[in-house]
Amino acid sequence: MHVRAGASHHTNKYDEDLIQLAKIASISSLPEHNTDIQRAAEWLFTRLKDAELEDVQILQTKGQPAVYGQWLHATGAPTVLIYGHYDVQPVDPLDLWTSPPFEPTVSRTGKGQEYFRGRGVSDDKGGLLQPVHAVEAYLKGRKALPVNVKFLIEGQEEIGSPNLAELLVEHKELLAADMALSADGGQISEKQAGIVLGLRGGVAFEVEAQTVGQDLHSGLKGGSVQNPVHALAQFVADLHAPNGSVAVDGFYEGVREITAEDRADAAAFPFDEAAEMESLGALGPHGEEGFSTLERRWLRPTLEVVGIYGGFSGVGIKTIVPAKATAKISCRLVPDQDPDHVMSALRRHVETHAPPQTRLKFLPLPFRAHPYIMPRHTVANRAAAKVLKEVFGAPTLFYREGWTIPFFDLCASHLGIQPISFGFGLPTDGIHSANERFRVSMYDKGREAWIRMLQEIANQAAKPSASS
Amino acid sequence: MHVRAGASHHTNKYDEDLIQLAKIASISSLPEHNTDIQRAAEWLFTRLKDAELEDVQILQTKGQPAVYGQWLHATGAPTVLIYGHYDVQPVDPLDLWTSPPFEPTVSRTGKGQEYFRGRGVSDDKGGLLQPVHAVEAYLKGRKALPVNVKFLIEGQEEIGSPNLAELLVEHKELLAADMALSADGGQISEKQAGIVLGLRGGVAFEVEAQTVGQDLHSGLKGGSVQNPVHALAQFVADLHAPNGSVAVDGFYEGVREITAEDRADAAAFPFDEAAEMESLGALGPHGEEGFSTLERRWLRPTLEVVGIYGGFSGVGIKTIVPAKATAKISCRLVPDQDPDHVMSALRRHVETHAPPQTRLKFLPLPFRAHPYIMPRHTVANRAAAKVLKEVFGAPTLFYREGWTIPFFDLCASHLGIQPISFGFGLPTDGIHSANERFRVSMYDKGREAWIRMLQEIANQAAKPSASS
């Protein structure tokens, strides 16, 4: 058990790595952070080399680069492609953070409930470091890995991986593998592991309502011309039917019926709805009628305004009729909705549903992912179920997730491999929110699970019955 | 005609005054401009002294100060209180300005269509300088004025004059007068003068919708909790009935029936609706059914969202369910609505109309004015009608305005004088908007009108039939 000893001896180095990487403000959606994105990629380049990975390189794209590294000397064993992303979400509203988002901290007092704190510590900088550390433990301990590995760590996941498809196609041979594991993902709780069988896809767009050429004096003109905020509010209000469904023609085209197995997975999932609502600060659940909260999150497509703005937002009041108002809208898609068809339906809706005396403009936003669904029974899933059961001490559940990782579908489409999620974030990590955190115990448990997983994949693949 | 010669000789000095004053960014709604507000008050203090006004002083309030000056040596003649304001509106969105708002310019090429350009050149820095220059021309030319004058130039008009009532009460004797003229106001066109018989009042408030404790990941939670932007959009959409009326119980309490005389004034007013809509960049008129555009602006109360914001407003997309969203709302009121009653009705509406799973918060904003209405036949109106007819070369019309100048009602309530508007802005000045401008010809014509008006008031008051 040389490998596991190696892991525990280097605890401080592991923490230092995450602190160092989380200090880099690699926000992919904000151009002013381009330099930070570059710094993060360079940091990983150096780190993968230090971990004794080979052929380490920075793969350029039309946007931000990805970082690659490999170790391919496990003759006869499967090749595992390991995915992660080094970019992070923006941090506004900054005033909600109790400590600066890019001055990450960690406590290890041994008293439990210990966290890394800072933007990206969970999503996905903590996640991507776990397999790096696991691989390093093998390579510096046993001088060998039980399987072949290839790392692909990209820099545009938080903006929907707009250049990932092209990158996978361009480097198809370099990235060829037998299976793929995503280090971007989470577990159900600290005590309950699960395997994600499906993810929602997504599209996003912006709708701008304009009614007059420029802001007008509300006393002079108020009440006699259309107000773009009123118009946009009406448009947004009408995007949902009274039963909570999305009121856009063609939006639900291709949505699969929910199966008995889907419902059973949702029902078996440990979920205390009242406690969840309390922890979110919500008065209660809300959504499409006829579906449970988990079904709404996993199995149903949604349409959400992620931001709205128009007119005066300063302190006090400015007595104007604004010239325009804008809503940014994100949709989550489920199998077998097609992002392009949905975008066409949305565009058509915007073009044909302008409120009176209003010009509506449709602008696609850079977020586009197919929904993803995978079979239950694969070598990777068998290995993962076994390892997670050992590490978590409870049977591994199968479930679906509501979020979107474009890699899953793109990897399946362009490399012919259906990835599984093997991440260790928790639902309470506050990813994409203020005060993002990552449990120290999950950081350690995940590294341990990755170490076991690389061995277990080799074991499962060696069985006569193995099929990917 | 010593006085008029004096006026034309000093043309450049008049322009310089407006340029100097308009350079000061005296935005009353933004605390970071407090120093500029002070600078503007001090500039006026010096300028009134230079104009040979007496007892010039800065009147402190709980907010920004007002500037006072007088000349009271016209024994037996009426005393005229002249009102203006030196504060200005904010300038955002800055990118719409074709020249920096606080680097004012003027052209005098003699080719017509010449403008002062900059924030406040029309509203109300150009306006308030006209009577100062008129009085100065008398005092430096004839060494006397035909009437007694008192200037009151305040610094919080653009935020609804929150301290003006207290100031009028505190300085009731100092400000006592026979009539009051507001230098904050406008004319119908360069060729058509009018006398405003009524103004709308106003109130403003903010409504904040919150559904969860902080921004959530739209993939993780989207579709299962209420989105505050959806909730606020529904709330805003429901603020108006399908016929365009305000759907708030009690909102219309006290609204006077429109009279035949009101309708006749509106119908007689020179107004090309199609040309107006084109110049505003509007697809067409929009508002409460059953009323014409002018009736909507002058005679009907309105409710307008002046700004909305919530969630992500940066470049691209952030896949969140926002925690909250806010709308700033301004209402215009007509006789005999009571601002306090309307605010109570609005608060009750917010408190009882929360969308599902939504907390709505009501916050009053600092804008509160009674609507104002005055009789047609007064000494001041007779003098104004005669002077304006002479200066504009066309009969003077009576009409109403949609905007709000709190001074009018406060002066009537607290000093017992019903002011009239004697300003020279044009509807095309773009006040409260980007690229505010003031016609050079109106700047000159207004000064000429003020010079004549001060004399005409003395003439009218001396007539046996005079009654204020």
Residue range B306-349, pLDDT digits in tens: 999 999 999 888 889 999 999 999 999 999 999 999 999 999 99
A179-182 and A79-85 beta bridge pairing = parallel
**Cβ-contact B63, B446 below 8 angstroms:** no
Q: Are residues A121 and A222 in the same domain?
A: no
Q: Are residues B61 and B190 in the same domain?
A: yes
- In this prediction, the residues of chain B whose per-residue pLDDT falls under 50 are 1-10, 466-468
Q: How close A203 comes to chain B (CA, Å)? A: 10
A283 contacts B402? CB cut-off 8 A:
no
- At residue B112, the pLDDT reads 64
- At residue B403, the pLDDT reads 83
- At residue A5, the pLDDT reads 34
Q: Are residues A174 and A226 in the same domain?
A: no
The mean pLDDT of A332-354, rounded to a whole number, is: 97
Confidence of residue A394 (pLDDT cuts 50, 70, 90): very high
For A397-445, the pLDDT digits (tens) are 999 988 888 899 999 999 999 999 999 999 889 898 899 999 999 999 9
Indicate which of A208, A225, A269, A303 best probes the interface with B, i.e. most B CBs within 10 Å of its own CB. A225
Number of domains composing chain A: 2
Q: Which residues on B lie below 8 Å from A221 (Cβ)?
A: 280, 297, 402
Q: Are residues B69 and B109 in the same domain?
A: yes
**Cβ-contact B96, B83 below 8 angstroms:** no
The mean pLDDT of A36-59, rounded to a whole number, is: 98
Q: Which of A325, A427, A432 sits opposite B215 (nearest CB)?
A: A432
**Cβ-contact A396, A270 below 8 angstroms:** no
Q: Are residues A48 and A185 in the same domain?
A: yes
For A243-280, the pLDDT digits (tens) are 999 999 999 999 999 999 899 999 999 999 999 999 99
- At residue B410, the pLDDT reads 94
The pair phi, psi for residue A425, each rounded to 5°, is -65, 165
Q: How far apart are CA B77 and CA B394, in angstroms?
A: 28
A311 contacts B93? CB cut-off 8 A:
no
- At residue A36, the pLDDT reads 98
Q: How far apart are CA A245 and CA A242, in angstroms?
A: 7
Q: Which of B238, B305, B321 sits opposite A229 (nearest CB)?
A: B305
Q: Are residues B67 and B120 in the same domain?
A: yes
Q: Which residues on B lie below 8 Å from A240 (Cβ)?
A: 230
Give me the residues of B, 174-193, that contact A with CB < 8 A.
none
Q: How close A414 comes to chain B (CA, Å)? A: 24
Length of chain A (residues): 468
Answer yes or no: is A177 within a domain. Answer: yes
Answer yes or no: is B105 within a domain. Answer: yes
Q: Which residues pair with residue B310 across a beta bridge?
A: A308, B325
Q: Which residues on A lie below 8 Å from B285 (Cβ)?
A: 224-225, 357
CATH code at B71? 3.40.630.10
Q: Nearest CA to B291 among B404, B367, B402, B369?
A: B402
Q: Which residues on B lie below 8 Å from A428 (Cβ)?
A: none
Q: Check residue A284 and report its DSSP letter.
A: S
Answer yes or no: is A408 within a domain. Answer: yes
- At residue A186, the pLDDT reads 93
SS3 per-residue string spanning chain B: CHHHHHHHHCHHHHHHHHHHHHCCCCECCCHHHHHHHHHHHHHHHHHHHHCCCEEEEEECCCCCCEEEEEECCCCCCCEEEEEEECCECCCCCHHHCCCCCCCCEECCCCCCCCEEECCCHHHHHHHHHHHHHHHHHHHHHCCCCCCEEEEEEECCHHHCCCCHHHHHHHCHHHHCCCEEEECCCECCCCCCCEEEEEECEEEEEEEEEECCCCCEEHHHHCCCCCCHHHHHHHHHHCCECCCCCECCCCCCCCCCCCCHHHHHHHHHCCCCHHHHHHHHCCCCCCCCCCCCHHHHHHCCCEEEEEEEEEECCCCCCCCEECCEEEEEEEEEECCCCCHHHHHHHHHHHHHHCCCCCCEEEEEEEEEEECCEECCCCCHHHHHHHHHHHHHHCCCCEEEECCCCCHHHHHHHHHHCCCCEECCCECHHHCCCCCCCEEEHHHHHHHHHHHHHHHHHHHHHHHCCCCCC
Indicate which of B87, B188, B218 best probes the interface with A, i.e. most A CBs within 10 Å of its own CB. B218
Q: Are residues A357 and A394 in the same domain?
A: no
Q: Which of A214, A232, A330 sits opposite B433 (nearest CB)?
A: A214
Mean pLDDT of chain A: 93
A200 contacts B297? CB cut-off 8 A:
no
**Cβ-contact B157, B184 below 8 angstroms:** yes
Count of other CB atoms within 10 angstroms of residue B464 = 4
Q: Which of A211, A316, A332 sits opposite B223 (nearest CB)?
A: A332
Q: How far apart are CA A66 and CA A84, in angstroms?
A: 10
Q: Is A94 on the interface with B (CB under 8 A)?
A: no
A230 contacts B233? CB cut-off 8 A:
no
Mention every residue, 6+ apart, whose C-beta is less than 8 A from residue A296: A285, A287, A288, A302, B223, B224
A179-182 and A302-311 beta bridge pairing = unpaired
B237 contacts A230? CB cut-off 8 A:
yes
Confidence of residue A377 (pLDDT cuts 50, 70, 90): confident
Q: Nearest CA to A18 among A152, A108, A110, A147?
A: A108
- Picking from A368, A396, A428, the residue at the C-terminal end of a domain is A368
Q: Are residues B70 and B184 in the same domain?
A: yes
Termini Cα distance of chain A:
28
Q: Which residues on B lie below 8 Å from A316 (Cβ)?
A: 29, 159, 365-366
The pair phi, psi for residue B171, each rounded to 5°, is -110, 35
A229 contacts B332? CB cut-off 8 A:
no
Q: How far apart are CA A273 and CA A263, in angstroms?
A: 16
A366: closest chain B residue by CA: B316
**Cβ-contact A39, A33 below 8 angstroms:** no
B115-117 and B105-106 beta bridge pairing = antiparallel
Count of other CB atoms within 10 angstroms of residue B174 = 15
Q: Which of B223, B227, B320 sits opposite A300 (nearest CB)?
A: B223
Answer yes or no: is A289 within a domain. Answer: no
Answer yes or no: is B154 within a domain. Answer: yes
**Cβ-contact A153, A53 below 8 angstroms:** no
SS3 per-residue string spanning A290-306: CCCHHHHHHCCCEEEEE
- At residue B375, the pLDDT reads 87
Q: Which residues on A lie below 8 Å from B328 (Cβ)?
A: 311-313, 317-318
Q: Nearest CA to B56 among B156, B144, B142, B149?
A: B149
Give me the residues of B, 123-162, that contact A with CB < 8 A.
159-160
Q: Is B316 on the interface with A (CB under 8 A)?
A: yes
**Cβ-contact B197, B400 below 8 angstroms:** yes
- At residue B316, the pLDDT reads 87
- At residue B3, the pLDDT reads 47
Q: Are residues A27 and A165 in the same domain?
A: yes
Q: Which residues on A lie below 8 Å from B222 (Cβ)?
A: 297, 302, 304, 330, 332, 402
Q: Are residues B328 and B392 in the same domain?
A: no
B222 contacts A402? CB cut-off 8 A:
yes
Mention every residue, 6+ apart, whose C-beta is less than 8 A from residue A368: A160, A162, A201, A202, A203, A204, A339, A343, A406
Q: Nearest CA to A169 among A408, A415, A369?
A: A415
Q: Is A355 on the interface with B (CB under 8 A)?
A: no
Q: How far apart are CA B332 and CA B407, in angstroms?
A: 15
A226 contacts B282? CB cut-off 8 A:
yes
Answer yes or no: is B283 within a domain. Answer: no
Please report how many Cα atoms fall inside a 13 Å half-sphere around the Cα of residue B262, on the Cβ side: 21
Angle at B329 between CA B325 and CA B335, to 5 degrees: 160
- At residue B160, the pLDDT reads 84
- Cβ burial of B441 (10 Å; 0-12, 13-18, 19+) is middle
Q: How far apart are CA B371 and CA B26, in angstroms?
A: 26
Q: Which residues on B lie below 8 Å from A198 (Cβ)?
A: none
Answer yes or no: is A290 within a domain. Answer: no
- Picking from A368, A388, A414, the residue at the C-terminal end of a domain is A368
Q: Are residues A46 and A117 in the same domain?
A: yes
At position B73, the amino acid (one-letter code) is H
CATH code at A354? 3.30.70.360
The mean pLDDT of A373-402, rounded to a whole number, is: 93
Q: Are residues B312 and B238 in the same domain?
A: yes
Residue A325: domain span? 201-261+298-368
Angle at A90 between CA A85 and CA A94, to 5 degrees: 140
CA A47 from centroid of its chain's CA atoms = 23
A318 contacts B432? CB cut-off 8 A:
yes
The pair phi, psi for residue B117, each rounded to 5°, is -130, 135
Reported as type and span, the H/E element at residue A56 is strand A54-59
Q: How far apart are CA B361 and CA B353, in angstroms?
A: 11
A279: closest chain B residue by CA: B213
B432: closest chain A residue by CA: A217
Q: Which of A283, A309, A435 sits opposite B308 (nearest CB)?
A: A309
Q: How far is CA B90 from CA A219, A313, A460, B436, in A?
A: 16, 11, 68, 11
**Cβ-contact A300, A288 below 8 angstroms:** yes
Reported as type and span, the H/E element at residue A444 is helix A440-462
Q: Is A306 on the interface with B (CB under 8 A)?
A: yes
Mention every residue, 6+ apart, whose C-beta is less than 8 A from residue B425: B122, B123, B126, B127, B185, B186, B187, B431, B438, B442
Q: Which residues on B lie below 8 Å from A403 (Cβ)?
A: 217, 219-220
A311 contacts B310? CB cut-off 8 A:
no
A115-117 and A437-439 beta bridge pairing = antiparallel
Q: Which of A217, A427, A435 sits opposite B220 (nearest CB)?
A: A427
A324-333 and A201-210 beta bridge pairing = antiparallel
- Picking from A320, A352, A368, the residue at the C-terminal end of a domain is A368
Q: Check residue A249 and report its DSSP letter.
A: T
Q: Which of B277, B318, B367 sits opposite A319 (nearest CB)?
A: B367
- At residue A8, the pLDDT reads 44
Answer yes or no: is B270 within a domain. Answer: no
Give me the residues of A, 364-383, that contact B with CB < 8 A.
365-367
Owner of token pair 């920096």:
B100
Cis peptide before A336 (omega within 30 of 0): yes
